[in-house]
Amino acid sequence: MTTDTGTRDVLAIMELLLTAEIFNRNQDLGINDLRPRCREFFGAGIGGNTEVKRPLIVSEGAIKKVLGVPDAVCQAVRRNPFVGYDEFGQRLSLPSLDAAAGWFLKKGGGPLVEENPALASYFEGKDGVQVRYQDVRAKNPRFEDTKEYMEAKVSRLIGENEEMREARDLIIISAPNEVESTLDNLVCTPRQEETIRKIGVALEHRDFLKQQRIYEFGRLLFVGPPGTGKTSLALAMSRELHMPILEVRLAMVTSQYLGETSKNIDRIFDLAKKLAPCILFIDEFDFVAKTRVSDDHGAMKRAVNMLLKNIDQISFVKNGVLLIGATNHPRILDEAAWRRFDEVVEFPLPDQAMRQAILEKIAAAIDCNCDFADLAAQTEGFSGSDLRMMMKEAVISALMEDRRHLDAADIERGLLRVEERNVIRDTGY
């Protein structure tokens, strides 16, 4: 096979054969030593199971089905002298691993080694190969971060438990690799960056913190105007720290049958502990204060007190649950709510330098000759959400004229749309 496509297909098959042979020989390798497409090919992780059944097998039928390559490619692989073939089971193997590995590198398989932990474990230290197994493994997407693993874990936990299923219906659970928001896409304040680093260190050293009985850690209150990135940062932390995120909206929980609200709050915290380590993100936390002040319904008051009691008892160090509350209205939170949190993280409206940095990130992949410094100066009082909306409107403006390049007029239209929206929002009816 001399075409680029043919060579690529042959290398893809050889990667599977090398992965299977190396994995079968090394009992210390596990599911996170398989890159995602290898997990799919070998059926690893089905049902959320982290154990990989050996031996891994490479059959022609699976190659054609999963990779979609023609029979001629399989025949080209079989002609290699170091490839074994079992006619009865139509299985391929590598009786001579060293010879196959040398051929693989010679034919351009180096970049695949840098993405495949199983291969890196074998090639590390070989002459002419600059690869570190630990680095490759650290970059490989973790199976525990996948939606499949999380759904299986949740299913096992709730099982036939009707009460736990009701609690599950009140929260949004996202696995880390489902989250689109990343730290690279955000512009954080130094204080926010410090908070992320502290949580990462605490996660790594939880056992030590337990020994020292340092439990009052990991209950964060995010405070700031709408659109300043509170939810986005909580989601990005899920991806960065490899922890699933459970999103709770108190208004939704308390709008259920009042008699069940207290129980549902208990169940939500219980589910979070069982899914730990995880992030429990409670949005619109000011709903607590509104209820305590304005609602005299006994059942609702009991529900709020149950929430505060659960917050008291949760600990990132003890339980592995990182609690994040978010509010746009910190002034209405009373002392009882404030003192439940170990740390308050402010999300101010971005200053001019931050607005420029946000605009540059938003427009990084957009064909646009913008003066971002000037645009940042024109958008005082805009939140990050406002800036994203402005650029979205500018893109739509260009597309309506069958263009993909943004000009100054498009940006101006986007800016006006946001200003109009903010005027309407501030209008008292």
Domain identity same for 169 and 273: yes
Average predicted confidence (pLDDT) for the chain: 90
My answer on whether 244 and 289 are in the same domain is yes
Residues 266 and 385 in one domain: no
Domain assignment present for residue 347? The answer is no
Which of 36, 49, 42 has the alpha carbon at shortest distance from 21? 42
- 373 and 301: one domain? no
Statement to judge: residues 242 and 290 lie in one domain = yes
Domain boundary among 83, 107, 140: 140
Out of 252-266, 354-368, 385-399, least confident range: 252-266
CATH of the domain at 234: 3.40.50.300
**What is the rounded distance in angstroms from the CA atom of residue 377 to the CA atom of residue 277?**
42
Residue 412 lies in a domain: yes
Q: Do 384 and 274 sit in the same domain of this protein?
A: no
- Pair 337, 197 in one domain: yes
> Does 292 score more than 60 pLDDT?
no
Lowest mean pLDDT among 98-107, 170-179, 255-264, 276-285: 255-264
Which domain does 61 fall in, by range?
4-140
Structural domain tally of the chain? 3
Indicate whether 123 and 160 sit together in one domain.
no
pLDDT of amino acid 3: 44
More confident residue, 158 or 323: 323
Query: What is the reported pLDDT for 2?
Result: 40
Residue that is last in its domain, among 140, 169, 201: 140
pTM: 0.87
Q: Are residues 223 and 161 in the same domain?
A: yes
Last residue of a domain, one of 140, 167, 184: 140
pLDDT band at 383 (very low <50, low <70, confident <90, very high): very high
Regarding whether 314 and 165 lie in a shared domain, the answer is: yes
CATH of the domain at 413: 1.10.8.60
